[in-house]
Structure 1
Amino acid sequence: MISIGDIYNQDINFLFGSGASFGLLPTLQLQVQTGEGDSRYTLEDLATKFEREKDRRLIPLFMHYYASCIRPAEQLSLKHAVTEEPGATVIKNYRTFLSTALEMVKRRKALDRRCNIFTTNYDGCFPLVADELIKEGHIDFVLNDGARGFTQRILQARNYGSYLCQSGVFGRYQSSIPQVNLIHLHGSVYWSKSDAVIQVGYDLSDREGLLNDDAMALLQPFSEALNNPASTLADVPDTDFSDAALETFWRQYEQMPIVNPTKWKFHETVYEEHYYQMLRLLSYELEKPNAVLVTFGFSFADEHILNLVMRSLSNPGLQVFVCCYSKPGHIAMEDKFRGHRNVKCLMLQNGEMNFTAFNEQVLVWPEASTLKLEVPTALAVLPAALETPRAADEFEDLI
C-alpha cells in the first residue's frame, strides 16, 4: 500500500503512537463505558472530565496511569519481553520495522542516508531493539537520540543535525553510515532533569517506583473498575488514599519527563521548551520539498501535532500516509483530513492493521524487477571486487 520504491529517496519521517507498543505496554484506552452507545472513555477524556469537575478521583486515575503504563515502561527489558507473547511479537515488529527503515536509507544518495522517527511513546522499544541490532554486527548504523556526552549524556535539539561518516585512512573516500533520528515528542522514561538541561540515561535499575505495594493494593479496586467492560462511571470507586498521600504522589508525578495527557503539556519548563523545539523540528521536516510522513498507531489526539500537520499540508510536495487500525478509525481520519489531496488514509480491507500487518502489508518493498534506484549508469554492473554493500558504498562515493 506504500511502495518503498516510490518514497525511499525522499525526506522520510515516521510518526509512531502507542498503538505500536500495544501488547507489550497498554494504550490510553480504558474499558469503562461513557454511556453513549458502545463508546469507552480514554484516559485523556476521563482525566479531562475529572479535572473540569474537580473530582477527587483525578489523582487516583493518574496513579492507575503510572502503574499500568509508565512504570512498566521504566522496567522494560528485552530479556524478559521476548520470552512470552504478545511482547515477543511486539519486539519482533520493532525489529522488522527498523531493519526496513535502514534498508530504505541505505539506498539513498551518499551523505544523505537518514530518516526521522518521531514518537509520542515514552518507552525504550526503539533504542533497546537498535542496541540488539548493533550488537549483532550485521547492520552498521547510528540511532541518534539527540544526546551527547560521556559520563552524562545531555539532550539538545541541535544534535539532530549531526551526521556520522567514515573516511579512508588517506581520506580518499567518505562512506556515509545509515542514521535514524529518534525524536520523543512526549518525553521518555529515560530522561531526567539535571539543573537546566535534560539528561538521558538508559540504566533505570536503581529507580524506585512512585507507588509501593501498599499503595498498589489500595489502587487495585479502582483499576479493576477502569478495566471492566461492564463498568460505568458510577462503578468507579473512590480510593482510601489520604489527601496527604495523593498530594505527595502528585508532586512526584509532576516531576516526571512526560506529557500530561489532560493538557498535552509538560509540567517542567525545561521539558516544555524541548517539546516545542521538537515540534518545530517536525514542522521544519514537513516543509521540505519532497517530505513524506507515515503515521502508525497514532490517533492525532495531541492538538499541537494535529495543527502542525494540518498547516504543513499546504506544502504541495508533502505526502502523508495515515495508517488506520480499523474501519471506524479510517472514517474518523478521512473526516479529519477531508479536502487534503496529499493525505492518504490507509486501512486493510480484511482485518485490523496491527504492527505485524503494517510491516507485512503496508510498508511494502516492490518486486525486485520494479525497484528503481537512482544510481549512476556506471554502477549498473559493479566489478566483482565491489559486490559487497560496503564496497559499493565506497565506490559510489568516489564517483
Structure 2
Amino acid sequence: MEVLELNDLNRTATLLERYIQSAHLNFLFGSGASMPAIQLAGTVEQEIDQHLAVGEHEEANKKALTFIEELEYQHGFLPAGYTDGDDTDLTLQNYLRFLGSLDRILFERKNILLPRQANVFTTNYDEFFEVAASLLPSLVLNDGFNRRIGNSGFEYAPELFFDRVYRSGTVYQHQSEIPSVNLIKVHGSISWKRQANEKIVLGAPETDQLTETQKNNPQEVKDALAKRAVILPNMRKFESTLLDRVYFDLLRLYSNAMEMENALLFVFGFSFADEHILDITRRALRNPTAKAVIFAHSQHRAADFEKKFSAHRNVLIIKPEEGQHIGFPELNSLFDVIGVTPEEIHD
C-alpha cells in the first residue's frame, strides 16, 4: 500500500494518467460525492440500525422513509428550479464537470485495445449522475434499463451493461467507438419502481409524501417503502427476494469488473462501511494486475483506509495536506488536467 499527499496536482495527474492509459476504468462513488446538496447517509444508517437492534422496526421504517423522501424532494430541483450557486447547483456542477473530464479522457484513449468505456458503481440513490449525463450529448450513459420501442415501461435488464457503442462513417463505413459510461447503482435508485409482478421498472421519483399523521401508521409507512426499489441503508438490507437478488447480481458485476486484467478502481466519497463491498474489494485486489486509488476526504479518513487495506500492495491512498480536505472540486481539478498538455493547461 502506498500513501500520497496531494500537494502537487500536475505530478499526481501524470501518475494517474499512466494507470489510466493501460487499464479498464472503474469508479466507486459514495454519499460524500453528493455533498453539499445531500447530507451523508452514514448517521442515518446508524440510527436505523439502533432502532432495529432493540426491535423497534416501525421506527426504523419511519426513519428510512423520511430519508428516502428527502432525496426525492431534492430531485425536484433538478435540472432546473434551483438557484445558481445554491447547494443543488454546486453539486450538479461537480457531477457535470467530472463526467465532462471522463468523456474527454475516454475519447482520447491512446490504447485502441481498451474500450472507450468506464464503469461507475455508486451506492447513492440520487439522480445527479443521470441529470448531469443528460446535459452532455456526446456521452452515452447506460443505466441498465431496456429502452426498446414497444416495452411497457423501461424494465431493468442488467445484461445490457457493458454494451459498447460505435458510430459508422457514411462513405467508407469506418467505425469509431463513442465514449460510454455504465452507471451501476448497487443500492437502487429513487427512480426505480417495484411492480407487483416482481419486476423493476424506471419511473419518476415519488412526489407524494406521507404526512406526519400518516407516518404514525406503521402499515402506511411499510406500503410506501414497498413502492420504492431501494436497498435501505441498514443492517436488515432486504425487504424482498427481488431486491436481494438484484443487489447480489449488481455486486457480482462489481466483482467481475475488478477481476479483469488491468482493472483500475477510483474510489471517492465512499467509506467502505458496506461490508459486502469492502469484502469484494479486498478479494478483487488479490488480482495482481488490479489497482485501487482511494481519495481520502481528510487525513483522519486516510488513516482509516490504511487500516482497512494494510495487507494490499496494489492500493494507493491519496490524502490532503494537513488541515485540508479532498472534496469533489479537488477531485475535478485533478481529472481536469489528466491527459492535458502543459500548453493546453496554460491556454
Q: What TM-score range do you get, normalising by the shorter chain? A: 0.7 to 0.9
- Number of residue pairs aligned between Structure 1 and Structure 2: 323
Matched, 1:88 2:86: no
Q: How does 1:111-150 map to 2 (within 5 A)?
A: 112-134=115-137, 140-149=138-147, 150=149
Against the structure 1 CA distance between its residues 339 and 363, is the aligned structure 2 distance closer, same or farther, given a 3 Å change threshold?
Answer: farther
Please report how far the alpha carbon of residue 146 of structure 1 lies from its aligned counterpart in structure 2 after TM superposition. Answer: 1.1
The TM-score normalised by the length of structure 1 is: 0.75
Q: Which residue of 1 aligns with 2:325?
A: 352
Q: Which residue of 1 aligns with 2:4?
A: none
Runs (4+) of structure 1 exceeding 4 A deviation are: none
Q: What secondary structure does 1:320 align onto?
A: strand
Please report how far the alpha carbon of residue 158 of structure 1 lies from its aligned counterpart in structure 2 after TM superposition. Answer: 0.9
Q: How does 1:145-224 map to 2 (within 5 A)?
A: 145-149=143-147, 150=149, 152-170=153-171, 172-194=173-195, 195-201=197-203, 203-204=204-205, 207-212=206-211, 214-215=212-213
d(CA) in 1 for partners of 2:167, 2:230? 36
Matched, 1:17 2:62: no
d(CA) in 1 for partners of 2:318, 2:289? 19
d(CA) in 1 for partners of 2:329, 2:52? 37
Q: What secondary structure does 1:299 align onto?
A: coil
Higher relative contact order (CA 8 A, sep 6+): 2
Against the structure 1 CA distance between its residues 171 and 198, is the aligned structure 2 distance closer, same or farther, given a 3 Å change threshold?
Answer: farther
Residue-by-residue CA offset, 1:121-167 (whole Å, 9 max, x unaligned): 11111111111121xxxxx2211111112352121111013111111
Sequence identity of aligned pairs in percent?
28
Q: Which letter does structure 2 place at the counterpart of 1:332?
A: D
Q: How does 1:1-399 map to 2 (within 5 A)?
A: 1-3=12-14, 4-9=16-21, 10-29=23-42, 42-55=43-56, 57-68=59-70, 70-81=71-82, 83-108=84-109, 109-110=111-112, 112-134=115-137, 140-149=138-147, 150=149, 152-170=153-171, 172-194=173-195, 195-201=197-203, 203-204=204-205, 207-212=206-211, 214-215=212-213, 241=216, 245-263=217-235, 265-349=237-321, 350-361=323-334, 364-365=337-338, 368=341
Residue-by-residue CA offset, 1:274-314 (whole Å, 9 max, x unaligned): 22111111111111111100010011111111100010010
Q: How large is the Cα RMSD of the aligned pairs?
A: 2.4
Residue-by-residue CA offset, 1:328-384 (whole Å, 9 max, x unaligned): 11111111111211111211105111111111147742561699xxxxxxxxxxxxx
Against the structure 1 CA distance between its residues 338 and 200, is the aligned structure 2 distance closer, same or farther, given a 3 Å change threshold?
Answer: same
d(CA) in 1 for partners of 2:28, 2:86? 25
Please report how far the alpha carbon of residue 59 of structure 1 lies from its aligned counterpart in structure 2 after TM superposition. Answer: 3.6
Please report how far the alpha carbon of residue 252 of structure 1 lies from its aligned counterpart in structure 2 after TM superposition. Answer: 2.1
d(CA) in 1 for partners of 2:180, 2:27? 14
Q: Which letter does structure 2 place at the counterpart of 1:123?
A: D
Q: Which letter does structure 1 place at the counterpart of 2:143?
A: D
8 Å Cα contact 1:82/1:91 also seen in 2: no
Please report how far the alpha carbon of residue 258 of structure 1 lies from its aligned counterpart in structure 2 after TM superposition. Answer: 1.0
Q: Which residue of 1 aligns with 2:5?
A: none
d(CA) in 2 for partners of 1:64, 1:300? 24
Structure 2: unaligned runs, 5 residues or longer: 1-11
d(CA) in 1 for partners of 2:343, 2:244? 46
Q: Which letter does structure 2 place at the counterpart of 1:66?
A: I
Against the structure 1 CA distance between its residues 75 and 272, is the aligned structure 2 distance closer, same or farther, given a 3 Å change threshold?
Answer: farther
Residue-by-residue CA offset, 1:19-78 (whole Å, 9 max, x unaligned): 11111122224xxxxxxxxxxxx222222121111246434422432343x332443411
8 Å Cα contact 1:255/1:267 also seen in 2: no
d(CA) in 2 for partners of 1:8, 1:291? 10
Against the structure 1 CA distance between its residues 364 and 342, is the aligned structure 2 distance closer, same or farther, given a 3 Å change threshold?
Answer: farther
8 Å Cα contact 1:8/1:107 also seen in 2: no
d(CA) in 2 for partners of 1:8, 1:276? 28
8 Å Cα contact 1:25/1:72 also seen in 2: no
d(CA) in 1 for partners of 2:144, 2:45? 28
d(CA) in 1 for partners of 2:302, 2:336? 17
Against the structure 1 CA distance between its residues 158 and 60, is the aligned structure 2 distance closer, same or farther, given a 3 Å change threshold?
Answer: closer
8 Å Cα contact 2:73/2:207 also seen in 1: no
Q: Which residue of 1 aligns with 2:8?
A: none
The TM-score normalised by the length of structure 2 is: 0.85
8 Å Cα contact 2:72/2:207 also seen in 1: no
Please report how far the alpha carbon of residue 199 of structure 1 lies from its aligned counterpart in structure 2 after TM superposition. Answer: 1.0
Against the structure 1 CA distance between its residues 24 and 299, is the aligned structure 2 distance closer, same or farther, given a 3 Å change threshold?
Answer: same
